[in-house]
Amino acid sequence: MNTINFIDYVISMDKSEVSRCILCHDPVCTGVCPQKAPVGEILRSMYFENYVGAVRKIGSTDCTYCNAPCEKVCVLNKDSVPVEIDKTLMNMRAGEKYLPRVKISDVDLTTEICGIKMENPFMLSSSVVSSTYEMCKRAFEAGWAGVSFKTICNFPQHETSPRFSAIRSHANSFCGFKNIEQLSDHSVEENMEIFRKLREEFPTKVIMASIMGRDEAEWTDLARKCEQAGASVIELNFSCPNMESDDLGVTIGQSEELVERFTRAAKKGTSLPVLAKLTPNITDMVPIALAAKRGGADGISAINTINSITGVDIDTLVAQPAVQGKSIVGGYSGPAVKPIALRFISDLNGCGELKDLHISGIGGIETWKDAAEFILLGAGSVQITTAVMQYGYRIIDDLLEGLSEYLKRKGIASVKDLIGGASRTVVDHQSIERDTIVFPVFNTELCSGCGRCYLSCMDGGHQAIKFDPETRRPKLIGSKCVGCHLCRQVCRFGAIGEADRAVRRRSL
């Protein structure tokens, strides 16, 4: 069987049970497994789409005759029903026969930022997840290659409480996350001491110093101090949307003149690579990136969070998060922003004048697949915050294993060979092919008979599907189908494929 067969098998599985898993810190289900299977790790690998890793962890575990003590101790028993762990593991194990044939036995995940070697492409982005010595130490020990330390500044921070709100999926996980948090509340010298300790203890890890100044002198001084304290790379925060002062953060990132001026000022203070972290709260990021390059930037970090209001409490009539009856526009992150981030990464990579700059991709990355998409569109490294805030540093295990297995089965020896691999497929509107059509094909064996494809096509498409009430199966009306594939998007069982591309019938 090839890769497509395995992917089709996984898609056809009902993964709603896995999505219900709480992903406990110390999963009690693991402790009671009579076969000593790492149950919690298996479910976590499935949750983060590391399916090959999940199958490997299952190994010879056989739940056929087990009375499922793992389900009896599941924490969901307290107010719901437990995850059907035995069924989920057995279904996943059944996919072993469909595993793709590995083309190569080993891969190289090392990459670099402007000549600075990284053990792998994964970093923590500048935020609360990388704001103390202890946190960075635990992240490094877990396997993260680097951290972009929470932004260092010379002026005091006045944080509010609460400062987070979220939009949740049906599984109650964050699909969108808002913060109104500001910068590091430690003094510059306290942060420099953290850098010195981290550099001494973790000489091979990348310490990216995120900084923000109020004038050219501060940008220069902070860059100099960070290099002297052991930083590997300097990142210029031109994009925080939550600053009390209107002259800082995102305001700088929306001005070509300020970005160029402050980048040049930071470069005066350091010989280290300098990356400009840019805001998505702008129509076109390329002119701002070019301004950063004129100022001497060696790379771009993108994107920072998006200006947002996540919602309004319809009982209190206050926008979220509520701070004594008021709220403010804040930074939006999480999976919901990934498509926007990918668009900006593609724009940056597609500009010939920026080709020599490193791109560090940020925005909604949770799984190894998310990271691979950023890399394929031109990112040489990736940074993550919101997923860590929700699931912890431990997600690095599945990020590394999932990306490694993907490279193996694609026959790609180094992750660096993946960079920009999909960039040529993003073209302008005039260059896309519009003269042929791809019809959907229904797999009756995988079809559940739910009728969602029929409903969506009738009310949101082109009325090109019939639904037989006796067989409970859909049938395509070819004369009406335009090949939009809405039906494929709503099918949760992977029961709709595609036919060969055909010449479109032209109307007179």
- Strands 299-302 and 206-211: what pairing? unpaired
Helices 256-268 + 216-229 axis angle, to 10: 40
Give, in degrees to the nearest 5, the angle at Cα 283 between 279 and 286: 70
Instruction: Encode burial over 285-315: b for 16+ CB neighbours within 10 A, e otherwise.
Output: bbebbbbbbebebbbbbbbbbbebebeeeee
Q: Where are the beta strands (DSSP E) in 159-269?
A: 164-168, 174-179, 206-211, 233-237
Token couple for 231:
């930083």
Among the listed residues 327, 336, 187, 306, the one whose alpha carbon sits nearest the alpha carbon of residue 240: 306
Q: Determine which one of 63, 74, 153, 240 is catalytic.
A: 240
Among the listed residues 307, 314, 47, 345, the one whose alpha carbon sits nearest the alpha carbon of residue 176: 307
Among the listed residues 78, 71, 154, 175, the one whose alpha carbon sits nearest the alpha carbon of residue 387: 175
Among the listed residues 508, 448, 479, the one whose alpha carbon sits nearest the alpha carbon of residue 13: 448
**Is residue 240 flagged as an active site residue?**
yes
284 burial level (CB within 10 Å; 0-12, 13-18, 19+): exposed
- Alpha helices (H) in 417-493, listed in sequence order: 452-460, 486-490
Rounded to whole angstroms, the Cα distance separating 386 from 333 reads: 7
Among the listed residues 102, 22, 27, 91, the one whose alpha carbon sits nearest the alpha carbon of residue 61: 91
Rounded to whole angstroms, the Cα distance separating 166 from 82 reads: 25
The catalytic site residues sit at 240
